[in-house]
């Protein structure tokens, strides 16, 4: 099996059975958990800045085949060409997100090897897209694998998993936007809705 196929296979196993994987092992050391949580907090700050190009700084750039699954996408992106197109769209391409705020919670970290760690957590997202009349929010499951580098822990895989199809529950998500999002939206965009 090629190394990429092996990584995809392992990632599929981890994503499809996270509860079993977490129950069968002991938690990571407190320091590894703190370091992964710190990376996640930095990731939240980058999303709030709306400067998604900076998200690449959170990844192991030495990894030739990173894997990313955004909840709104039909399939995994494998490799930098696809991931870069998402995080840093070509100049002139209008970004669909007007303002997005991401918060991670209920974070569980499991160290897989001295230089690898797995995390399972929830992601709260409040956002306004250019083509939606109202902002909406959602809580989604996330799994990620991190590699310890000379610059600290970095993402090598990332996958979001909605509990139900986004478009089917659009109205429910619009009702679920946190009360203070409008103020955040106005601040980020410099205008009112």
Query: Please, are residues 161 and 15 in contact by the beta-carbon 8 Å criterion?
Result: yes
Q: How many other C-beta atoms lie within 10 A of the C-beta of residue 37?
A: 16
pTM beyond cutoff 0.75: no
DSSP string for 113-173: ETTEEEEEEEEEEEEEETT-SS-EEEEEEEEEEEEEETTEEEEEEEEEE-SS-TGGGHHHH
Q: What is the pLDDT of residue 17?
A: 46
* pLDDT-above-70 percentage for the chain: 79
* DSSP-derived pairing of the beta strands 152-161 and 67-69: parallel
Give per-10-residue mean pLDDT for the chain (193 aa): 52 47 54 96 95 92 94 89 84 81 96 96 92 87 96 96 63 76 89 64
Domain harbouring 170, CATH code: 3.10.450.50
Number of structural domains the chain divides into: 1
How far is the C-alpha of 121 from the C-alpha of 41, rounded, in Å? 13
Residue 83: how many other CB atoms lie within 10 Å:
20
Q: 128 phi and psi, to 5 degrees?
A: -130, 120
* pLDDT given at position 97: 82
The tokens for 160 are 């979001």
For residue 150, the enclosing domain spans 3-189
Amino acid 54: pLDDT: 92
Place of tokens 């090598």: 156
């Amino acid at each position: 099996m090629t190394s990429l196929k092996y990584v995809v296979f392992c990632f599929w196993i981890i994503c499809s059975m996270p509860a079993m994987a977490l129950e069968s092992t002991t938690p990571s050391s407190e320091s590894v958990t703190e370091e992964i949580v710190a990376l996640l907090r930095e990731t939240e700050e980058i999303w709030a800045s709306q400067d998604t190009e900076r998200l690449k700084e959170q990844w192991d750039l030495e990894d030739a085949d990173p894997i990313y699954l955004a909840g709104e996408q039909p399939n995994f992106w494998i490799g930098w060409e696809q991931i870069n197109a998402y995080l840093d769209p070509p100049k002139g391409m209008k970004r669909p997100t007007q303002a997005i705020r991401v918060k991670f919670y209920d974070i569980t970290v499991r160290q897989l090897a001295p230089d690898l760690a797995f995390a399972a957590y929830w992601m709260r997202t409040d956002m306004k897209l250019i083509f939606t009349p109202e902002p909406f929010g959602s809580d989604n499951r996330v799994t990620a694998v991190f590699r310890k580098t000379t610059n600290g822990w970095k993402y090598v895989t990332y996958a979001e998993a909605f509990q139900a199809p986004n478009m089917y529950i659009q109205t429910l998500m619009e009702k679920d936007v946190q009360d203070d999002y409008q103020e955040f939206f106005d601040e980020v965009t410099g205008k009112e809705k």
